[in-house]
Structure 1
Amino acid sequence: MASTKIEIPAGYVTGILGASGGYDEGHLISTEDSRRFCGVATFLKAPLLKDVVEPTVGFVGIPFDGGSSRTGGSQFGPRGVREASFRVSGYNSELDVRPYDIHNLADCGDLLVSPFSITDTYRSIELGLKSLLDRGIVPISIGGDHSVTLPLLRAMHAKHGQLALVHFDAHCDVSDTQFGSPYHYGSVFRRAVEEKLIHGDKTVQIGIRKHYHRGEIEFVRSNGFEIITSRNLKEMGADIRNQVAARLERLKGHKVYVTYDIDFVDAASAPGVGSPEHFGPNSFEAVEALRAVHALAADIVGFDLVEVSPIHDVANLTAYLGAQLLFEMASILSPTRKR
C-alpha cells in the first residue's frame, strides 16, 4: 500500500501560523484570534517588552507577598492573572475603545523580588519601575500583596512629585506596625503620607468597610482623606460610575495614581484574595466604580492591581476578574497617549 505524504505548513513547525491562519510570523497570538489559548501567557496577550518598539503602556508583575501577615498566596497573582487574561477580548464596548489601537502595549515581565527581605524587594521594585518610567512607559502593575504599592509610589513620586491617590479597597491600609515591622500590606498609606508621596487631602478611598481600630479612622480624618464607603456605593445603585466620577472631579489637574486592591470586591465575587471581606460591591459595581476614573484619564500616571491569590480562588473567578480589571485600566488611559 502506497504511503500518503502529509504536507505540513511551515508555520506549524515553529508554532506560528502564516498570515492566512491569522498570525503574523514573529509575533504573539492576537487577542482577536479564536486560538488565543495558544502561545506564551502574557497580560492580555500583549507582546513582550523586547518585541515592542516605543512601548507606551506596560504591564509589570510583582510576585511578592512578604508583606502579608495572614493569608499568603498573592505572590502567584501575576502568573494567575496572566493565564486568565487570554479570555479577555480586545474591544471595550462600554468605553468604545480598543486599547491596542491607542497604545503600544507590552508585558514587561516580573520585577525581581526576594521572599526573604522586604527591604531588598522594595529597593528592587523602586529601581525596576523607575527604569520603565524613564522609557516613557505608563505602568499597570500587578501584585503581589498591597505592600508593593509603597515602593511603586516612591518611584512614581521621584518621577511626578507628590501624587493624588484613588484607592479601591475594603480597608484603609493606614495601620502602623505589625509584629514590629513598619512595612506591611496594612500600613502602605500611612507610610505614603509620612514620606509625603501622596497628598492626604487629595486621597479618595473607595469601598471601605473594615477598620481594625479607631486609630485608623482618626488618621484618615486628620490627614484629609475622603472616604466613600461600601454602603455609599450601594446607595448609588446603578449610577455608581457617574456619582463616583463626580466625587473624583476635584482631583483633575493633579498627577493621579490609582491602586486597586481586589478585596474591594465582595468575597462572593472575588474569593481568591489575601484578606476577603463580605458586604462589598459585586463584580458589576466593582467595574463601574473603576470606570469612574475615566474622568481623570488625562491625569493618571499609573495603576496597580493587588492581592489576587490564585491558591485561594474558586474556578479562577478572581483571576479572571483581575484580568478584566486590567483591561479596563488599559482602556481608561487617555487617548492623548495615542502612538
Structure 2
Amino acid sequence: MIYERRYSEMEAGSPVNHSLLNRNFSDLSINDDSAFSDCNSDRSGEFPTAASERRRLLIACASENSDELIRQLVADLQSCSIDEQRHAAMELRLLAKNKQENRIRIARAGAIKPLIALISSTDSQLQECGVTAILNLSLCDENKEIIAVSGAIRPLVGALRTGTSTAKENAACALLRLSQMEENKAAIGRSGAIPLLVNLLETGGSRGKKDASTALFSLCSVKDNKIRAVQAGIMKPLVELMADFGSNMVDKGAFVMNELVMLPEARASVVEEGGIPVLVEIVEVGSQRQKEIATAILLQICEESEVFRTMVAREGAIPPLVALSQSGTKRAKQKAEELIELLRQPRSARTAPA
C-alpha cells in the first residue's frame, strides 16, 4: 500500500498552539510566533486512490450513524484478518482526524486498547495505522489519560525504534501529546524514548526533526530527561541544526538547548561540540529572537566558567553583544549587558596591578 506524504502546519479542527506547549517563557521577550507549533493530526496522507470511494462514503455517513459505524470498526480491529484490521484502523484514523466529537466517540467505544495492540504489530502498515489513529485520538485532552493508562507509552516507543519514517514521526507526536500531562513525562523518559528522539532529531527528515525537537522540548522540563538527552548526545544535532540557517530549525534547536544548559554536563557538551562559534554567529546575524536566546545560552555557559568566558570572548562575541545591548529588545539588552560584563572580567583580572 502506497502512502502519499502530505504535511501542513495546521489541520482543520487542530489549531496551532502558540503558547510553547503551555509553558511560559517570561524570561524571554518573544512576541512573534512561537518557536514550536504543536503536533497536528494525521501525518500519513490519505487513503490510496483505490479506496477513495469508500472514504467518501465513510465521511458522508459518519455524521448520521457514526456510533454504529464506530462500534463495527472497533470490532474489526480485533479481526483475525490483517486487512480488516488495517482498514478499520485507517477508517478510525480518518474519523478522528479533524472532528473532536469523533475522537471522544471512538475512545468511548473502546477503540484505544485494540489500537494500542496494533502498534506492536510486525506488519509495518498495520503498526503505522495504529500509531496514527492513537495520535489523532490523543488530540482530545479527554483521551490523553486513557491512552496513557491503557499502556500506550511503551508500544509508541517501540514504533519510534522500529517503525516506518511516518510511524516514527507520528509516534513522536503522540508521545508529545501524552507528555503534556506532567505525570507522563518521567514515564516516557524511563521507557527509552529520549535516545530515540535524539536519533530522530539527527537522522530524520525535515518533519521528523521538527517533531523530535518539539517532543524533546516538552519532555526535557524534567531533570532526569535533561540528563538522558545530554547522555544520548543531543548537543551534536542541536549545534548542527542551529548552524544551518536554511533548516528553519535554528529557533527550535536554540530553545531545546536553552532548556538543557542549566546542567554543567550540558554546558560542557555544547562547548565540546563546537557550539560557541555557532552561538556567537547567531548573536551577530540571527533574527532578534535568535539573538536573544543565543545570548541567554551563552550567559548560562559563561556564568560559572572563566575558561568558557575566555573562549567566547576570543570568538569575537563582544562587538555583536555591544550592538545587541544598544538595539535589541529590552530583555536582550539586559542579557547582553550581563554577558559583556562577565566576558570582560577575566581580562580585567589579568591586567589589574599586583
TM-score norm. by structure 1 comes to 0.29
Greater per-residue helix proportion: 2
Higher relative contact order (CA 8 A, sep 6+): 1
Greater per-residue strand proportion: 1
Bigger radius of gyration among the two = 2
